[in-house]
Structure 1
């Protein structure tokens, strides 16, 4: 019985560490995307939230609608990439967690 409890405790600690690692990885996601013309750079986190926005002087030659379109498109691409990265991390975590559970097939 003691051996089984030790094995259970070790497995729970491994899984807890895996969850902590995932949390750290997700918190560390940062994606920077620059517009094709190089005028706008957006940085977002793993939730797709805007963290930084930078412009070059070339924006002064844009109309307000052009400026808006470039900012929205650039930030949108960055958010899309960040969310995709987040999804990949969660999928890898789920696969690894399933592999660590006895009697559970990955993908179920």
Structure 2
């Protein structure tokens, strides 16, 4: 192969590896939050779906409405954490797709 073809194949391979790393990274995202009083702990996946909920025994001393609101608030906080992690994965992926500098082949100056 010519040097240009080798460079093209190398770029395509790098982009494929970046995509695979991003897919793996997105599967690893977990947002977590525990309320300051320790009553509620939640974990959400990269989509913000609840995958774990733990309630302290002392939660029984609160009204159901208060506990429900605390669970919802904790889920929102965990989803925010998951969103931040997801953004980091996507930013890393995006950086792999930045075109090479003008006047270069495969990122090498001519």
| TM-score tier after normalising by the smaller chain length | 0.7 to 0.9
C-alpha separation between the residues in 2 aligned to 1:97 and 1:25?
Answer: 17
Once the two structures are superposed, the pairs formed by residues 6-85 of structure 1 within 5 Å of their partners are 6-85=6-85
Higher RCO, 1 or 2 (CA under 8 Å, sep at least 6)? 2
What does the per-residue CA deviation read over 1:33-60, in whole Å, with 9 as the maximum and x for residues that have no partner?
Answer: 1011101100011111111101110111
- Stretches of 4+ aligned residues off by more than 3 angstroms: none
| TM-score of the aligned structures, taking structure 1 as reference length | 0.86
Larger Rg: 2
Q: Which runs of 5+ in 1 are unaligned?
A: none
TM-score w.r.t. the length of structure 2 is: 0.85
Distance 2:23 2:89 in 1: 10
Deviations 1:54-104 (A, max 9, x none): 111011101011111110000110001101211122123212321xx3247
How far apart are the structure 1 equivalents of 2:37 and 2:49? Answer: 23
Aligned length: 102
The two structures, once aligned, show a CA RMSD in angstroms of 1.5
